[in-house]
């Protein structure tokens, strides 16, 4: 039965110029190409089966509690709640996307409309460089250079000046915090968001640009109207940027502070799901349910990723359709 | 004596060192229609874009000579001001796809602070749509997106968008090239009635001599970037001075 | 009225230029910091930095020999696994574009880009490390190969697709078989793009950390070439050392960062000279 199905997928040679032995070519590539299916299948099976144990034990408490108590003493002492890392993941990625957006838009405007060709070339090299730089270097720079600077020059003054604002209500200790993670992530997703927006910006036909200018728009108004023409792409870049930010691991693990906290204060250290996994997975074999709980975290991460990227890709398609 | 709507003095345009227009001298009186004709590549569209300074956006483009629109020297004043004095309609209908029909017309006045309140804006939008002979067709669906309109209606929407700026000079780049004959006739009618009833002058580029003869008062004939012939339409129709013009009018170039 | 608009415009231009510069400022500062803090430990350790083993906590600089060798070995072995797979999937989806399987390959290889790298690490841990009973270079290279496949596949697909159809038709008209057309014509015309793809994949995996966290083990005491033995990478060493309280390990981490940056920049510039486009 199954064999027949597979045969049906082999391209028909009727009415085509291709000789019969193409089938051999097709079949010899097929196993290689199928590996990618196998990877997904394995991922789905393993994430589902390993996380199942903790999901059935803790149920919804996995998402609503933030007590993380690995214990060998007995089942009744064990508690795993992913609320803090989930909260941290969302807060840091939203912060990152919100900060990266104006910066990405500005680089798009700067490169497309202001910079002379040489400078534009330099900028695009720099942005490619940022995109490819090993993420651990962002983390290293973040924890050793950016955090001390931010703590002394931004967090401490803000806390002293506006201690009654919930966002700034806690004293920055080491400086490793949700805000620091958000900022490092913002830097890391700029090239990604930038290139999505720039592609869309470049695809707006000349005639709309001329129409905007012919209405007497100045440069600011021109850019504003151009942005409104590519709104779906901008939303897509935000969503895909969120997806990127929420799945980043090592850079965040170095700067987020790694502590279970659900605090409105952005100066407080926190956790994200990937940084939790990075920190705890290696010892998860020693504690009952821990590995399963971490896999449940992985599942949550996957679901978040699917939500962000599918909605993002839908918006992207919408943006592409707009101008053929 | 009529005022002068557009005056060009030794207007020349070079793009990337290549001469696109050379030594153009045109004088168009107010409330008249000028048809710019010529084979493709003769510089017709460039002429329009030199007038409202859209050429500013073309890299490596040099403009020499003078362009005066209603007494305003275009190249020694703010380009945005020049563009607000002139409205433009393009070859392919290009209403903004992200705005409603109403907003497409309203955007110009809003941008330029031409109206004080919503009622004034409503009136201006209605006026522009009426002048573009589109009001009756869209009055019930001003909130619709423009792609629901036919191509010809979209082009008239673009005309309304340009008119809502209350321009002194209207520039049209082959406005009927991508439009069916019925819509083309409506646009021509709209243009004719505009110069008869409003303080407005029109320059339009066309590749069909018949259209030029039908609605223009003046004709400029461009060939390879040079103004081969310029004058009253009737005179040129009867007695073209230049061999090239004669052949173009017969459809041979 | 006009004034307000003009002020807004001026402010907009100033602000957007400043923000654009701010956006790329970090990369300068990162490279500057890596040089500033990475050069001293390397100068102190000399060439030994590339060959020695790391120091004990609190004593000296030593070197990153095992991690450096591990990085190259991992990149090499993961390319050995990932490159043929990517090449085959790309060929498959370009040559049989309408086949449902190749549509699936295309979609999934894009989707693979979105999968968090830490999950790949977990997956390989469960699939390879647990059955084998130990961490290994092999497990690390499997994880890195999975990371690399979507990048390389996309590059190779694009390179193959950019081959004008007319050359392929010319091949068929000479009586070439499909295989001959693909390998003698498409691949040789697109070889620059394919090479770039492989380079980018290589660059990508030399810098990866998360997929290695639970897969390679941390072999830092001797240089090991055994694919079934423990291994290490520079990025992993940086990640571990910077989280310790030891000042000399921090110095080693910065020195290692300089080495990693140099490797990355070399590959980056090589691929830049081949192409201008980058898949993010």
**Mean pLDDT in runs of 10 for chain B (253 residues)?**
87 93 94 92 92 90 94 92 93 94 95 91 96 95 94 96 95 93 93 93 91 92 92 89 83 70
Q: To probe the interface with A, which of B87, B98, B162, B165 has the most A CB atoms within 10 Å?
A: B98
Considering only CB atoms, which chain B residues are within 8 Å of A214? 52, 54, 83, 86-88, 162, 171
Per-residue DSSP letter, B155: H
What's chain B's average pLDDT?
92
Query: In the complex, which subunits touch A with 3 or more CB pairs below 8 angstroms?
Result: B, C
Residue B32: closest CA among B229, B220, B228, B237: B220
pLDDT at C206: 94
Chains touching B, CB cut-off 8 Å, 3+ pairs? A
Q: What's the total number of domains in chain A?
A: 1
At B6, phi and psi to the nearest 5? -140, 135
If we measure between CA atoms, which residue out of C205, C221, C201, C198 comes closest to residue C67? Answer: C221
- Domain range holding A306? 79-322
The minimum CA-CA distance between B128 and chain A, rounded to whole Å, is 14
Question: C2: pLDDT confidence band, cut at 50, 70 and 90?
Answer: low
Domains and CATH numbers, chain B: 4-94+169-249 (3.40.50.300)
In a domain, A17, yes or no: no
pLDDT of residue C272: 81
Give me the interface pTM, i.e. the ipTM: 0.93
Tell me how far apart the alpha carbons of residues A271 and B182 are, in angstroms, rounded to a whole number.
67
Q: Find the distance separating the first CA and the last CA of chain B, reported in whole Å.
A: 37
Least confident span in A204-218, B78-92, C113-127, C179-193: C179-193
Interface of B with A (CB under 8 A): 49, 52, 54, 57, 80-81, 83-84, 86-88, 90-92, 94, 96-99, 107-108, 111-112, 158, 161-162, 165, 171
Q: Do the beta carbons of residue A184 and residue A142 sit within 8 Å?
A: yes
Nearest by CB to residue A110, choosing from C6, C16, C254, is C16
Highest mean pLDDT among A13-22, C36-45, C100-109: C36-45
Minimum CA–CA partner of A274 in chain C: C118
pLDDT surpassing 50 at residue A11:
no
Residue A7 has pLDDT above 80, yes or no: no
Residue at A92 is within a domain? yes
- CATH numeric code, C65-274: 1.10.3720.10
Cα–Cα distance for residue pair C17/A226, rounded to 1 Å: 17
A236 has a pLDDT exceeding 90: yes
> C4 at the A interface (CB within 8 A)?
no
Average pLDDT, chain A: 89
**pLDDT band for position C124 (50/70/90)?**
very high
Residue C126 has pLDDT above 80, yes or no: yes
Q: What is the pLDDT of residues A58-70, one digit of tens each?
A: 888 889 888 888 8
Q: What pLDDT shows up at residue A13?
A: 40
Instruction: Express as a percent the part of chain A with pLDDT over 90.
Output: 72
Residue A1 pLDDT level (bands cut at 50, 70, 90): very low
Instruction: Give C9-22 pLDDT, tens digit per residue.
Output: 999 999 999 999 99
- Pairwise CA distance, residues A114 & C18, whole Å: 12
pTM: 0.91
pLDDT tens per residue across span C48-57: 999 999 999 9
User: Across residues C188-202, what is the average pLDDT?
Assistant: 89
Query: Are A217 and B161 inside 8 Å of each other by CB?
Result: no
pLDDT score, position B22 = 93
Domain CATH for A272? 1.10.3720.10
pLDDT value at A79 more than 80: yes
Lowest mean pLDDT among A280-284, C13-17, C131-135: A280-284
Lowest mean pLDDT among C25-29, C177-181, C226-230: C177-181
pLDDT for A10 = 46
Does residue A303 sit within a domain? yes
**Residues of chain A positioned with their CB less than 8 A from the CB of C207:** 132-137
- Please check whether residue C37 is in contact with residue C30, taking contact to mean a CB–CB distance below 8 angstroms: no
Q: How many CB atoms lie within 10 A of CB A57?
A: 16
Q: Is the pLDDT of residue C102 over 90?
A: no
Q: What's the CA gap between A302 and B236, in Å, rounded?
A: 74
Gap between the Cα atoms of C109 and C88, Å rounded? 12
* Within a domain: A298: yes
Residue A71 lies in a domain: no
């Amino acid at each position: 039965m199954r064999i027949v199905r597979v045969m049906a997928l082999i391209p028909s040679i009727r009415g085509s110029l291709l000789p019969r032995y193409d089938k051999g070519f097709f079949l010899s590539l097929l196993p290689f190409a199928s590996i990618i299916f196998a990877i997904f299948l394995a991922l789905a099976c393993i994430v589902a089966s390993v996380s199942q144990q903790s999901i059935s034990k803790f149920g919804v408490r996995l998402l609503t509690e933030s007590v993380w108590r690995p214990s060998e003493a007995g089942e009744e002492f064990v508690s795993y709640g992913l609320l803090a890392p989930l909260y941290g993941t969302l807060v840091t990625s939203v912060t990152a996307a919100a900060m990266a957006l104006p910066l990405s838009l500005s680089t798009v405007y700067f490169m497309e409309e202001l910079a002379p060709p040489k400078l534009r070339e330099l900028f695009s090299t720099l942005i490619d460089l940022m995109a490819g730089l090993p993420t651990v270097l962002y983390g290293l720079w973040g924890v050793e250079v950016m955090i001390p600077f931010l703590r002394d020059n931004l967090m401490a003054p803000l806390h002293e000046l506006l201690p009654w604002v919930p966002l700034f209500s806690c004293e920055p200790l080491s400086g490793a915090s949700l805000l620091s993670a958000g900022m490092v992530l913002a830097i890391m997703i700029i090239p990604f968001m930038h290139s999505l927006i720039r592609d869309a910006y470049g695809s707006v036909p000349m005639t709309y640009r001329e129409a905007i200018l012919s209405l007497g728009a100045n440069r600011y108004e021109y850019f504003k109207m151009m942005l409104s023409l590519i709104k779906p792409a901008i939303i897509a870049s935000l969503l895909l940027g969120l997806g990127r930010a929420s799945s980043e691991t090592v850079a965040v693990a170095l700067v987020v502070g790694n502590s279970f906290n659900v605090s409105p204060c952005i100066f407080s250290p926190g956790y994200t799901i990937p940084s939790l996994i990075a920190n705890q997975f290696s010892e998860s074999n020693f504690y009952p349910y821990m590995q399963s709980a971490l896999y449940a975290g992985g599942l949550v991460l996957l679901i978040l990723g699917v939500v962000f990227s599918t909605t993002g890709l839908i918006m992207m398609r919408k943006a592409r359709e707009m101008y053929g | 004596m009529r005022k002068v709507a557009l005056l060009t003095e030794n207007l020349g345009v070079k793009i990337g060192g290549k001469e696109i227009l050379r030594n153009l001298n045109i004088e168009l009186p107010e409330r008249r229609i000028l048809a710019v004709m010529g084979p493709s590549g003769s510089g017709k569209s460039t002429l329009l874009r030199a007038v409202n300074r859209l050429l500013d956006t073309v890299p490596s483009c040099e403009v020499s000579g003078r362009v005066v629109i209603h007494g305003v020297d275009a190249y020694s004043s703010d380009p945005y001001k020049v563009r607000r004095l002139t409205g433009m309609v393009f070859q392919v209908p290009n209403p903004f796809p992200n705005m409603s029909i109403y907003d497409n017309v309203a955007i110009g006045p809003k941008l330029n602070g031409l109206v004080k309140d919503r009622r004034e804006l409503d009136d201006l939008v209605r006026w522009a749509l009426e002048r573009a002979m589109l009001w009756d067709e869209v009055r019930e669906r001003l909130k619709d997106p423009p792609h629901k309109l036919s191509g010809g209606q979209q082009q008239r929407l673009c005309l309304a968008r340009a008119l809502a700026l209350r321009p002194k000079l209207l520039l049209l780049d082959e406005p009927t090239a991508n439009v069916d004959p019925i819509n083309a006739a409506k646009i021509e009618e709209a243009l004719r009635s505009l110069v008869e009833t409003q303080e407005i002058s029109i320059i339009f580029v066309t590749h069909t001599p018949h259209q030029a003869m039908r609605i223009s008062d003046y004709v400029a004939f461009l060939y390879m970037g040079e103004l081969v012939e310029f004058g009253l339409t009737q005179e040129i129709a009867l007695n073209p001075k230049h061999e090239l013009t004669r052949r173009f009018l017969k459809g041979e170039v | 009225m006009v004034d307000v608009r003009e002020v807004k415009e001026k402010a907009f231009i100033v602000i957007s230029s400043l923000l654009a510069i701010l956006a790329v400022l970090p990369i300068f500062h990162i490279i500057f910091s890596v040089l500033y803090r990475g050069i001293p430990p390397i100068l102190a350790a000399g060439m030994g930095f590339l060959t020695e083993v790391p120091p004990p906590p609190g004593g000296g600089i030593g070197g990153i020999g095992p991690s450096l060798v591990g990085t190259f070995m991992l990149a090499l072995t993961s390319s050995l696994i990932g490159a043929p797979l990517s090449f085959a999937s790309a060929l498959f989806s370009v040559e049989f574009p309408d086949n449902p399987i190749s549509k699936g390959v295309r979609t999934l290889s894009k989707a693979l880009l979105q999968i968090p790298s830490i999950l790949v690490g977990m997956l390989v841990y469960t699939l390879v490390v647990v059955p084998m009973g130990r961490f290994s270079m092999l497990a690390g290279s499997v994880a890195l190969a999975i990371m690399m496949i979507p990048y390389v596949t996309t590059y190779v697909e694009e390179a193959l697709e950019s081959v004008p159809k007319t050359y392929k038709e010319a091949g068929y008209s000479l009586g070439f078989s499909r295989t001959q057309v693909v390998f003698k014509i498409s691949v040789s015309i697109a070889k620059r793009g394919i090479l770039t793809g492989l380079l980018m994949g290589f660059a990508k995996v030399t810098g990866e950390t998360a997929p290695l966290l639970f897969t390679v083990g941390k072999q830092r005491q001797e240089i090991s070439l055994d694919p079934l033995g423990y291994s290490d990478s520079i990025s992993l060493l940086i990640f571990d050392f910077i989280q310790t309280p030891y000042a000399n390990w921090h110095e080693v981490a910065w020195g290692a960062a300089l080495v990693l940056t140099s490797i990355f920049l070399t590959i980056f510039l090589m691929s830049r000279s081949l192409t201008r486009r980058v898949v993010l």
